[in-house]
Amino acid sequence: MDPTTDNAGRTGVPGNARASLEALRAEIAKAVVGQDAAVTGLVVALLCRGHVLLEGVPGVAKTLLVRALAAAVELDTKRVQFTPDLMPSDVTGSLVYDTRSAEFSFLPGPVFTNLLLADEINRTPPKTQSSLLEAMEERQVTVDGTPRPLPEPFLVAATQNPVEYEGTYPLPEAQLDRFLLKLTVPLPSREDEIDVLTRHAAGFNPRDLGAAGVRPVASAADLEAARAEVAKTTVSPEIAAYVVDVCRATRESPSLTLGVSPRGATALLSTARAWAWLTGRDYVTPDDVKALALPTLRHRVQLRPEAEMEGVTTDSVINAILAHVPVPR
């Protein structure tokens, strides 16, 4: 195969793309302990050109996870700390008057990057949250009527605390639907937490990932080659019908007021293809769909209040649907 070349002059051979993406997981593990599912989800999102929402209580390394990803991929990255007083222009950029030229010029905001870390996104009001909508969907920002394209690749990795925590604002449904995956970052197991403390006792500094040995192991060229290979992964008519049946079942569930939209169905098909390719296959199986159903769908459905009061969760509803929808043979 012909190699591809990125802007930095590096060449990436498509045949080595899977090895480069798999190496990402091992590299991130040098900084983050015991969050393999979240790491894999971030790699899937890179392959699908999708955005990721990371949810977990404070202190479980959500921010460190994204920073480690940025360090392991040769991509430009910027971080925005979302606060109650953050303005939309603080994210997208604004027009600034230049006294020397007596004209207004555009000052790009932090959204003009490859990997945007939106830290604690639900600590800012919906108006500022929504400033990311156009960027996430259209991959451009419109300021003063002028559309300005964002760099490629572009991915938003947003962290949020659980919505029942004080000082948080639920994300609008329209914005939630723009996230490809919602990954939960749980508290570590006892063994993993001991490993974390042992690393810190040995001098690990989460603010110095270079000292921890995290190095770039994949480039934009590797990512582009991987995406081209994922696009060749075969999806049979039976698998496409299975994805549709799972998503339609969420719309008929008595526990839900809002089911998965057609956008969610296409997202599930996309993530299942990426997972199939990562595991070394050029075709999608029902198990691939099941493996990605929870992170792809859990933020696209809404529970009925009475179901929520009974302790039902979106994950339990989706798992029940996966157990009952007939699997193609």
The answer to whether 116 and 77 are in contact (CB under 8 A) is: yes
pLDDT, tens digit (0-9, with 9 covering 90-100), for 77-131: 898 998 888 888 899 988 888 778 778 888 899 999 999 999 888 888 888 887 8
Q: What are phi and psi of 178, to 5 degrees?
A: -80, -15
Higher pLDDT, residue 36 or 275: 275
Task: Give which of 188, 279, 169 is closest to 230, Cα–Cα.
Answer: 279
**Ordered DSSP codes for 257-278:** EE---HHHHHHHHHHHHHHHHH
The answer to whether 235 and 223 are in contact (CB under 8 A) is: no
DSSP-assigned beta bridge partners for residue 52: 157, 181
- The H or E element spanning position 142 is strand 140-143
Higher pLDDT, residue 255 or 132: 255
pTM of the predicted model, to two decimals? 0.85
The answer to whether 119 and 83 are in contact (CB under 8 A) is: no
- The H or E element spanning position 23 is helix 17-28
The answer to whether 231 and 14 are in contact (CB under 8 A) is: no
Q: What are phi and psi of 186, to 5 degrees?
A: -80, 170
pLDDT, tens digit (0-9, with 9 covering 90-100), for 233-243: 999 999 999 99
- Distance, in Å, from the CA atom of 129 to the CA atom of 99, rounded to the nearest integer, reads 32
Contacts of 174 (CB under 8 A, 6+ apart): 130, 133
**pLDDT at residue 10, as a whole number:** 39
